[in-house]
Amino acid sequence: MASHRRPKQSSQAYTAMVTATAAAAVAVSAQSASADPLPDPNKKGVQAQVDRLYEQATQAVEKYNGAKEKAGVLQKEVDALQDTAARKRSGLNDLRTRLGSIAAAQYRSGGLDASVQLLLTSDPDGYLDKASFLDQLSAQQVDALEQYQSQQRDLQQQRGQALEKLKDLQDTRKELGDKKKEIQGKLAEAQRLLNTMTAEERAARSAEDERANRSSERVELGNEGSASQRAAAAFEAAKSRVGMPYVWGASGPNSFDCSGLTSWAFNQAGVSIPRTSQDQANAGTRINSLSALKPGDLIIMRTDLSHVGFYAGNGQILHSPKPGAQVRYESIERSGMPFMWGVRIG
């Protein structure tokens, strides 16, 4: 079996990694969680409470990521609708100018018809419904009036659609703010609890994380190939990020949450996949058995599908696990998170 060795990092990159990791683990900047092992429900004490808070924060992170992605889509739709409405408004103004010319010509030839006055000042629909008035206009004039009526209706429809999208966007942005507060609250409470631990307890926790990071450098992955060239390319990209810090809401290139790592890696392979773990769970062909997975397949973890990583071979997952941790390899069995299914991207 082949042994994985993490590439050496420059001192500058290492300093940045340490700084970012410390910031993620210590405070509520705008950075923190997406996937910690499920704590033992029978375990008591501060350690278990911190683990539960981290898990709750990571679950909220994926909802935050989903709301952020939705907000981006809605903003593009609103911009497109507003651009279309602006073009229609411009065309309507041009047509109104033409109608003004018709009215001026009528006035010079014998006075402005009251029906044309009604059209230009208020309701063209009501005007066109009066067939007796149409008899007084030429075919060209009628065509201009009908165009005006049609474009005015289109403009009203575009404005209505834009207003609906704007409301959706406002609601989604509120959801974003709520999720951000929830995440920050969970992390702040976790930090408060960590601060109550003795120096010996904190040292033991740090040592446990460091052991996990070191064991990642010596992991045996085996020699099994990926199911496709794209999966292989994405997996290679993810492997190049080993040692990068976990940061909630981050999608690379130097920090990641769980789904940020997988979406970034596939993007490097020229494949666009959804941003959240829940959406990635349905992004390709489902693989129900761990034994059927190949390196580069996605692994969906937890019953709420709130964690995702790459299958790395030999029972290992490559993932960005939790606040204060780094992108690393870890035994799926020992991760403490239930395996739901794998996803093969083609």
Query: In the chain, what's the furthest Cα-to-Cα distance?
Result: 101
Tokens for 172?
């989604």
**Burial, 277: exposed, middle or buried (Cβ in 10 Å; 0-12, 13-18, 19+)?**
buried
Catalytic option among 165, 186, 319, 328: 319
Tokens for 324?
């204060």
| Distance of alpha carbon 136 from alpha carbon 206, whole angstroms | 89
In the residue annotation, 258 being an active-site residue is answered as yes
| Distance of alpha carbon 215 from alpha carbon 104, whole angstroms | 86
In the residue annotation, 4 being an active-site residue is answered as no
> Which residues, including other chains, have CB under 8 Å from residue 263's CB and lie 6 or more apart?
251, 273, 274, 275, 280
Tokens 């309507």 map to which residue? 92
**Burial, 231: exposed, middle or buried (Cβ in 10 Å; 0-12, 13-18, 19+)?**
buried
In the residue annotation, 307 being an active-site residue is answered as yes
Catalytic option among 60, 144, 258, 340: 258
Any idea what the Cα angle at residue 23 is, between residues 19 and 29, rounded to 5°? Answer: 135
Catalytic option among 180, 307, 328, 344: 307
Q: Which of 188, 189, 182, 216 is nearest to 335 (CA)?
A: 216
Tell me the catalytic residues.
258, 307, 319
